[in-house]
Structure 1
Amino acid sequence: MQLYLMRHGEAGYNAHSDRERVLTEVGRYQTELMSNWLARSVTEFDLVLVSPYLRAQQTWQEVSKHFPEPRKWLVMDDLIPSGEPSVAVDTLLAYADHFKADKVLVIAHMPLLGYMVSELVAGVEPPLFATSGLTLIDKHGESASLTWQQTPHTVS
C-alpha cells in the first residue's frame, strides 16, 4: 500500500476558530503545484481521508481537480492537529483494509502528520511537513518505509 500524507495548504489566521481557517491564495497555489507534481506519478487514489478542518477540506477540493474521483473519500474526525497519532494510524489502516485500498491520500495537519510517520515507520523521528508538503510511505504487511518527502519549494 502507498500512503500519501499531505499537509493542508497555507491558511490565514483571520477566523473565529482554528477549525474555520481558510486557505490563502499562496496556499491554493502551492497545493496546485504539489497536485500537478503528484499527478505525474499517480493516476488515481483508491481512498482519500481528510481532516474535518476547513483548510484541509479546501486543500482536498484543490487536489481533487487533478485526479479522478476516488473509489471512496471520507472526513476522518481523528485527523485534527491535536489528534492521537496511534488512533489516527489504526483508523487509517482499518479504512484502507476495509476498502481494499492500495493508494491512500491523507490530508491533515502538523504535528499529527509527523507523529503518524513515526507510528508507521519504525525508527523514524517525526518529520516536519511544509504547508502543502507530501510524504510517501510504502507499507507492505508489517514493514513500512519512508520513500520521499516533497514540498512546494522542491518540485518543478
Structure 2
Amino acid sequence: MQLFLMRHGEASYLAHSDRERVLTETGRYHTSLMSNWLARTVVEFDLVLVSPYLRAQQSWQEVSKHFPEPRKWLVLDELVPSGDPSTAADLTLAYAEQYKADKVLVIAHMPLLGYMVSELVAGTEPPLFATSGITLIDKHAEQASLVWQHNPHTVS
C-alpha cells in the first residue's frame, strides 16, 4: 500500500477559530502545484481521509480537481493538529484494509503528520511538513519505509 500524507495548504490566521482558517491564494496555488506534480505519478486514490478543519477540506477540494473521484473518502475527527498519532495511524490502516485501498491520501496537519510518520515507519524521527508538502510511505505487511518527501519548493 502507498500512503500519501499531505499537509494542508497555507492558511490565513484571520478566523474565529483554528478550525475555521481558510486557505490563502498562495495556499491554493501550492496545493494545486503539488496535486499537478503528484498526478504525474499517481493515477487515482482508492481512499482519501481528510481532517474536518476548513483549510484541510479546501486543500482536498484543490487536490480533487486533479484526480478522479476516489472509491471512498471520509472526514476523520482524529486528523486534527492535536490528534493522537497512534490512533490516527491505526485508523488510517484500518480504513485502508476495510476498503481494500492500495493508494491512500491523508490530508491533515502538523504536528500530527510528522508523528504519524514515526508511528508508521519504525525508527524514523518525525519529519517536518511544509504547507502543501507530501510524504510517501510504502507499506507492505509489517514493513514500511519512507520513500520521499516533497513540498512546493522541491518540485517543478
Q: TM-score range by the shorter chain?
A: over 0.9
Residue 153 (structure 1) aligns with: 153
Matched, 1:76 2:76: yes
Distance across 2 between alignment mates of 1:113 and 1:21: 18
Equivalent position amino acid for 1:71 in 2: R
Residue correspondences, number: 156
Matched, 1:54 2:54: yes
Equivalent position amino acid for 1:56 in 2: A
Deviations 1:48-88 (A, max 9, x none): 00000000000000000000000000001100000000000
Residue 43 (structure 1) aligns with: 43
Question: Could you list the runs of 5+ residues in structure 2 that have no partner in the other structure?
Answer: none
Residue 86 (structure 1) aligns with: 86
Give the TM-score normalised by the residue count of structure 2: 1.00
Alignment of 1:1-156 (within 5 A): 1-156=1-156
Question: Could you list the runs of 5+ residues in structure 1 that have no partner in the other structure?
Answer: none
Deviation at 1:155, TM superposition (A): 0.3
Deviations 1:67-110 (A, max 9, x none): 00000000011000000000001111110000000000000000
Deviation at 1:120, TM superposition (A): 0.2
Distance across 2 between alignment mates of 1:123 and 1:98: 27
Distance across 2 between alignment mates of 1:77 and 1:100: 21
Q: SS of 1:139's equivalent?
A: strand
RMSD between superposed Cα atoms in Å: 0.3
Q: SS of 2:93's equivalent?
A: helix
Deviations 1:113-133 (A, max 9, x none): 000000000110000000000
Q: SS of 1:49's equivalent?
A: strand
Deviation at 1:152, TM superposition (A): 0.1
Distance across 1 between alignment mates of 2:149 and 2:90: 22
Equivalent position amino acid for 2:134 in 1: L
TM superposition outliers: structure 1 runs of 4+ over 4 Å: none
